[in-house]
């Protein structure tokens, strides 16, 4: 119920902000009587249709090429003029762009899930984003004309800036909204934002060029071509989303396969991914780094698929010879998975995140060889060992959370970096979570003993 109240308050606040902005815009910049509402309607239809077909490109983050429509409309109306009986009439792009944005708060998922809060929030976000973008176009293109070649280049550049501002404002509001509505734990790190913003910037540039061309040519038949360009642009995000879904499905398939052989993996893998994410956030990792850490965590135990069953089911610590057999088997799986392009960076992390034998490098055959583990490897190692020590095993009871911290700090292995342990401790304090029993059940247990982890 608490989440529902937060979502209701957020949706109400953004919706009211959108309504007030829309009313203010219509009063301050009243549309000209000579406005061609057919063209405005076509832009609004295109924006609404693209928003309706938006796709999830990150966790609870949807994208479409509607920013290209906004860039086209903003640049076109910012430079558009008409000769009337009373003189030359210019237009305010901000009014038109806000009206266009108001038509696109829905996406297909809203109808499938019968959502109300999301469209209300989207309405406010789109209005505020369009207001900022349209105002920028009016300020930068006042008095400009597409008939001047130098101005044509400027109009195209402004189109890119319009798309950038539109997406920055929208993204900021989305990030704020999901944090308020869902909390820190329930949101996966957003990755690849540089790629998404790069695409939006290029689309804005194309949108600006379309707006300048439309004004220069003064031919409404170009609208058909423009609609085709918008649809092509939207395939960029559709393809990106499909690739992400395929990657996630592949990882989930790997984890489910491992769970059928080792029931302990169920829950352990997700907890290690969660701890790695908390540590990474505390250390200032980017969204892409956090996603790579999560993926590395999900596949860090895939080597168990090649471990002989007698080693998997052994009660107690492994001898050095047994551990060497285990490592040899897991290396083969690491080498196999590293042949998958998108997994290669993650395999380089997880292949060197397990305790090593004397003389063994971090990173194995075909991967990065180094005597010093990377920061990502240290993060995964600490997360893995912490969960192993605070969980009940077949050969020992769980350690308390504080005992696990102390054991990790005492260990001189380069994998268990004190700064990484400190980051884990701070992050768990911040989210108010405790793992393991509240009192110490196992004493003197060193991380090196966590070889089944």
220 and 274 assigned to the same domain: no
274 occurs within a structural domain: yes
Indicate the angle between helix axes 418-431 and 265-282, nearest 10 degrees. 100
173 and 97 assigned to the same domain: yes
The domain boundary, picked from 217, 245, 273, lies at 245
Instruction: For residue 129, give its domain range.
Output: 2-245
232 and 337 assigned to the same domain: no
Domain count, the chain: 2
Q: What is the pLDDT of residue 134?
A: 95
254 occurs within a structural domain: no
Q: What is the pLDDT of residue 96?
A: 94
Torsion angle in degrees (nearest 10) through CA of 46, 47, 49, 54: 140
Q: What is the pLDDT of residue 332?
A: 72
Q: Residue 92, Cα to own-chain centre: how many angstroms? A: 35
Q: What is the pLDDT of residue 448?
A: 46
137 and 209 assigned to the same domain: yes
- Per-residue burial over 272-293, b if 16 or more Cβ lie within 10 Å, else e, is bbbbbbbbbbbbebebbbbbbb
Q: What is the pLDDT of residue 371?
A: 63
367 and 223 assigned to the same domain: no
The domain boundary, picked from 245, 275, 300, lies at 245
271 and 176 assigned to the same domain: no
256 occurs within a structural domain: no
Q: What are the residue ranges in the chain where pLDDT is below 50?
A: 362-363, 441-453
184 occurs within a structural domain: yes
214 and 349 assigned to the same domain: no
222 and 291 assigned to the same domain: no
58 occurs within a structural domain: yes
Look up tokens 């998922």; give the residue: 109
Kindly report, residue by residue over 333-388, the tens digit of the pLDDT. 777 777 788 888 888 888 777 766 666 554 455 555 556 788 999 999 999 999 98
Q: Residue 165, Cα to own-chain centre: how many angstroms? A: 19
């Amino acid at each position: 119920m608490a989440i529902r109240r937060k979502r209701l308050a957020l949706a109400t606040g953004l919706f009211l902000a959108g309504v007030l902005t829309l009313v203010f815009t219509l009063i301050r910049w009243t549309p000209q009587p000579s406005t061609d509402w057919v063209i405005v309607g076509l832009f609004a239809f295109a924006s609404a249709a693209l928003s309706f077909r938006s796709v999830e490109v990150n966790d609870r983050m949807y994208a479409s090429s509607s920013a290209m429509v906004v860039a086209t409309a903003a640049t076109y109306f910012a430079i558009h003029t008409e000769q009337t009986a009373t003189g030359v009439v210019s237009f305010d792009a901000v009014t038109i762009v806000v009206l266009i944005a108001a038509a696109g708060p829905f996406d297909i998922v809203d109808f499938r899930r019968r959502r109300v809060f999301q469209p209300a929030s989207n309405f406010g976000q789109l209005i505020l984003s369009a207001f900022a973008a349209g105002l920028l176009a009016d300020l930068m293109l006042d008095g400009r004309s597409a008939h001047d070649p130098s101005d044509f280049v400027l109009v195209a550049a402004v189109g890119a800036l319009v798309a950038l501002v539109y997406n920055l404002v929208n993204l900021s509001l989305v990030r704020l909204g999901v944090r308020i509505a869902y909390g820190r734990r329930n949101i996966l790190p957003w990755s690849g934002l540089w790629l998404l913003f790069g695409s939006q910037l290029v689309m804005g540039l194309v949108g600006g060029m379309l707006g300048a061309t439309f004004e220069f040519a003064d031919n409404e038949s170009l609208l058909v071509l423009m609609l085709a360009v918008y649809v092509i642009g939207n395939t960029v995000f559709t393809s990106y989303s499909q690739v992400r879904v395929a990657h996630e499905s592949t990882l989930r398939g790997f984890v489910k396969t491992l769970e059928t052989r080792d029931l302990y993996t169920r829950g352990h893998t997700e907890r290690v991914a969660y701890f790695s994410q908390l540590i990474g956030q505390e250390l200032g990792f980017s969204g892409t780094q956090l996603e790579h850490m999560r993926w590395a965590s999900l596949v860090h135990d895939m080597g168990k698929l090649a471990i002989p069953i007698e080693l998997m089911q052994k009660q107690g610590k492994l001898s050095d010879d047994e551990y060497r057999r285990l490592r040899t088997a897991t290396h083969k799986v690491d080498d196999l998975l590293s042949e998958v392009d998108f997994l290669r960076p993650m395999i380089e992390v997880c292949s060197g995140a397990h305790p090593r034998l004397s003389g063994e490098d971090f990173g194995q055959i075909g991967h990065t060889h180094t005597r010093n583990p990377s920061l990502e490897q240290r993060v995964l190692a600490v997360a893995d060992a912490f969960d192993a020590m605070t969980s009940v095993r077949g050969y020992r009871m769980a350690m308390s959370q504080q005992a696990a911290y102390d054991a990790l700090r005492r260990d001189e292995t380069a994998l268990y970096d004190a700064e990484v342990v400190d980051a884990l401790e701070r992050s768990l304090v911040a989210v108010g979570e405790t793992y393991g029993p509240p009192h110490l059940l196992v004493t003197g247990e060193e991380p090196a003993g966590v070889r089944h982890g």
